[in-house]
Amino acid sequence: MNFGATILDADGLRLTSDEIAFFRDVLPFGFILFARNIDNPDQVRALCADMRNAVGYECPITIDQEGGRVQRLRAPRWREWLPPLDFVTAAGDQAERAMYLRGRVIAHELRAIGVDSNCAPMVDVACDNSHPFLRNRCYGADAGTVATLGRAHAQGMLDGGVLPVVKHIPGHGRATQDSHFDLPIVAAPRADLDAQDFAPFKALNDLPMGMTAHLVYDAIDAAPATLSPKVMDVIRTDIGFDGLIMTDDISMKALSGSLTDLSRGALDAGCDVILHCNGTLAERMEVAAAAGEMCAQAQRRAEAALAARHTPDDIDISAADAELESLLK
């Protein structure tokens, strides 16, 4: 089947009849869940089943379960996680193993409720002036360390049957503004970007999916990365990432313009899929109409991403939890 070039959201705890009819018509590649979609495990499983039944295939369903502030599954029904930077600091020289276990345990929780993708690892490299919305979500301030920990976290999720989405490609760490509300502009020279910001993504360029950064790199283009053919060429050619690229939420305030123009602009720039996270059904319809079906290259990447989704390996989760707790003492 040909997938729609979208990953879409839903309003509440179950799909409405209008949502079901809409999703059946446009066949989005997948879905994303938010806190508004989550109450208890049985309810989330039922919602995921609604979504897959609507499109008629085992579509990927993703979520932001980084841990810390960006964590949709919360106590008391699910684990509370330290923010990644605090977690890495607590683990010390065992951080690589701890990040693997974090990814594997998160994958176990996600698969148990029907979710099979996670918008992580986030391998943006922290800087002294990184905006607070981002800083403690990072894994460190050294590109090599961030790449190593990002690889461990991604592998834990893959081993648990969950597709990782590496973000925010090609690097958001220098942003001094929150792209949910403003458009950050990065003035660093290209050589600095290559050595620091882009390096972890190059090291992880074999991962199945990635998410763009809504910011401007002055050294490359005046257009936001999500809408820039020049930045997308850097991602595909220089970084060497050939996985499926989704936009960050196309409704974020960093981008200006209509949803139609933004969706078409992102696809024209080289993104494969439009991610829409917060809006009305009418706005989702606008995005889906603008995005249409995936092009042949995007379809190939989507199929390759789905082929990377495997049955979880055998693991004793209690033992993994115990080991993880011991590493953080």
Name the residue among 271, 198, 208 with its Cα closest to residue 239: 198
Residue positions annotated with a catalytic role: 180, 248
CA atoms within 13 A on the CB side of 287: 30
Quote the tokens at residue 298: 């995007």
257/214 Cα distance (integer angstroms): 14
302/254 Cα distance (integer angstroms): 26
Reduced to 3 states (helix: H, G, I; strand: E, B; else coil), residue 216 is strand
Helical pair 281-291 and 17-26, crossing angle rounded to 10 deg: 10
Kind plus residue range of the DSSP H or E element containing 100: helix 95-111
Three-class DSSP labels, 225-247: HHHCHHHHHHHHHHCCCCCEEEC
Phi, psi at 98, each rounded to 5°: -65, -40
Question: Distance of alpha carbon 153 from its chain centroid, rounded?
Answer: 13
Quote the tokens at residue 238: 């220089």
Residue whose entry in the numeric block shows the structure tokens 């972890």: 200
CA dihedral 51, 53, 54, 59 (to 10 degrees): 60
The strand pair at 65-67 and 70-71 is best described as: antiparallel
DSSP per residue, 268-310: HHT-SBEE--S--HHHHHHHHHHH-BPPHHHHHHHHHHHHT--
